[in-house]
Structure 1
């Protein structure tokens, strides 16, 4: 399940890169509008997918550094 979602995230990321590259080329107004719309859709889909995924890395509680109470120096 996680592998499939990661694959989908990579696909969205690759599409976003491709659309950004295309926007740096000479395009007609209609082509530019289409690519900007697709870029927006891909970005939204990627954000929604990422927000729906559980975190892959769990933070560990920090261990206190120093002496514990009740110990002598």
Structure 2
């Protein structure tokens, strides 16, 4: 079960990297909107899965959403 969750986390991370690379290319506005929406969905799914898989929180660590906001 844990290995399956780790595989899903890796899949979401790979999708996020792929979408980021695609956003650096020349796209139509419709394509860009689609990819940005999918990127947001993948980030959300990754955050949910990560929180469910690793429920322990360490003091001082930012959440993924907070880290993105500062980038």
Fold agreement, TM-score > 0.5: yes
- Return the alpha-carbon distance in structure 1 between the equivalents of residues 55 and 6 of structure 2: 12
- TM-superposition CA deviations, 1:18-61 (whole Å, max 9, x none): 000000000000000000000000000000000001469xxxxx
Match of 1:35 in 2: 35
Structure 2 residues without counterparts, runs of 5 or longer: 57-71
TM-score, normalising length from structure 2? 0.75
Structure 1 residues without counterparts, runs of 5 or longer: 57-73
- Return the alpha-carbon distance in structure 1 between the equivalents of residues 53 and 21 of structure 2: 28
Q: Does 1:3 align with 2:23?
A: no
- Return the alpha-carbon distance in structure 1 between the equivalents of residues 36 and 27 of structure 2: 11
Match of 1:47 in 2: 47
In the TM superposition, residue 11 of structure 1 has moved relative to its aligned partner by 0.1
CA RMSD of aligned residues (A): 1.4
Match of 1:26 in 2: 26
- Return the alpha-carbon distance in structure 2 between the equivalents of residues 44 and 9 of structure 1: 11
